[in-house]
Amino acid sequence: MAASMCDVFSFCVGVAGRARVAVEVRFVSSAKGKGLFATQLIQKGETIFIERPLVAAQFLWNALYRYRGEHISPTPEGCWAQQRLRMEETCDHCLRALEKAEENAQRLTGKPGQVLPHPELCTVRKDLHQNCPHCQVTYCSTECLLAAAEQYHQVLCPGPSQDDPLHPLNKLQEAWRSVHYPPETASIMLMARMVATVKQAKDKDRWIRLFSQFCNKTANEEEEIVHKLLGDKFKGQLELLRRLFTEALYEEALSQVSVGKVGPVASQALQLSRSNQWFTPDGFRSLFALVGTNGQGIGTSSLSQWVHACDALELKPQDREQLDAFIDQLYKDIEAATGEFLNCEGSGLFVLQSCCNHSCVPNAETSFPENNFLLHVTALEDIKPGEEICISYLDCCQRERSRHSRHKILRENYLFVCSCPKCLAEADEPNMTSEEEDEEEDEEGEPEDAELGDEMTDV
């Protein structure tokens, strides 16, 4: 059941009307499915569309520690301590960073006295922060608190049981953390919010259509995706997660509605019954694979936003040189104290962005410049009418690797073989990456399709 084109554009914001005029979704092929195409000239640097997610969720390790200003002592798991220091607390709805840029820099560098120039460029407004009156989860504004309550939080709010380890949702989250360690690539709470959204919605059928719009995989492909996320013991772990997921969110009565009943109440119950298929072993695996394949990493950081604002300042050459040198040194200090700077705080499902296919030479890119979950898709070059709009599922470094390495990453994480112009042009190249990688594979004795678990992107 595909979502209508109206639904595909309905989560665009700001330039929603522009998106409907500038692009269209077309069927490409049975292998690629649908794609996004320009219907008029889109110029380099132009924002093609801005989109909010159907659902989004902060990664659970981030949410657990609420990292504002937390100092973590050395532990036997030293790398874990570094990972914890890199994470920051975000709004539970839009994932906006809640600590100021200077606080972020102080925590990441380990220097409590670190001062940033141009503090007025930080847009974090702590005076606007709000807490759920029942479970105390934090939001960046009253608007986000109300939006979460309206969409899903009424179902998911644990109330005074927020810290009760025996609460069904807390048991589910703890089980997820026990099988999915930082750096995280997905969250079980994204799935929970999907279910809660359908439960709370007045038009439940619309939400089911929207979630059904995301690509479907075969049973074998779904197992590959789940295996990638959970590791070698994924079958046992998956069943444990399904059981806890069911305990937390399943409604027994809704699965027993008679098909012969009529009327609005029975109709809504039947729609919920369809969503209850997600609790069966096959349905839960499909839901898991949907999130694993389509979940888009969301990068939010008050420090990153401050840096971008600094880049936009009009300064004298000497002042610009000094500010750039300060920022370069700041990033070096962060890397020395806590490792490479990361700002991926959670993941979300974006209906129009999911229509963008991959290319190793993309003509568009995604970003989160507003320090929240609003995704911007921007043209990297002029895009002519009729031309497909493609983003890359690989990061910059991965795109520079050989065709063989790129295909290996894409096949393992997204289950497709890329046929973009770059890959076709390199089709005659040897199926090897470099002498160094050849030696590494020989030493480790791994087959060609061995896992590259540290190279997962966007899932």
- At 34, phi and psi to the nearest 5? -90, 165
Query: Taking the model in full, what pTM does it have?
Result: 0.83
Which tokens in the block code for residue 145?
């608190």
> For residue 436, what pLDDT is reported?
47
What's residue 82's pLDDT?
42
d(CA 216, CA 221): 9
**Beta strand spans in 278-332 (E):** 296-299
Position 437 scores a pLDDT of 52
Q: What is the pLDDT of residue 275?
A: 65
Residue-wise pLDDT for 399-454, tens only, equals 889 999 999 888 887 878 899 999 999 888 776 654 445 455 454 444 433 333 33
pLDDT at res. 120: 96
Annotate 266-302 with b (16+ C-beta within 10 A) or e (fewer).
Answer: eebbbbbbbbbebbeeeebbbbbbbbbbbbbbbbbbb
Count of C-beta atoms within a 10 Å radius of residue 370: 16
Closest CA to 397 of 450, 324, 454: 454
Residue numbers in the chain where pLDDT is lower than 50: 1-3, 66-86, 253-263, 265-266, 270, 434-436, 438, 441, 443-459
Q: Which helix (H) or strand (E) holds 287?
A: helix 281-294
pLDDT value of residue 88: 61
**How far is residue 314 from each of residues 133, 311, 318, 328, measured CA to CA in Å?**
44, 8, 12, 18
Q: Are strands 375-379 and 364-367 parallel, antiparallel or unpaired?
A: antiparallel
**Beta strands, E only, 281-321:** 296-299
Model confidence pLDDT, tens digit, residues 332-360 = 999 898 776 566 788 999 999 999 999 99
Structure confidence at residue 220 (pLDDT):
72
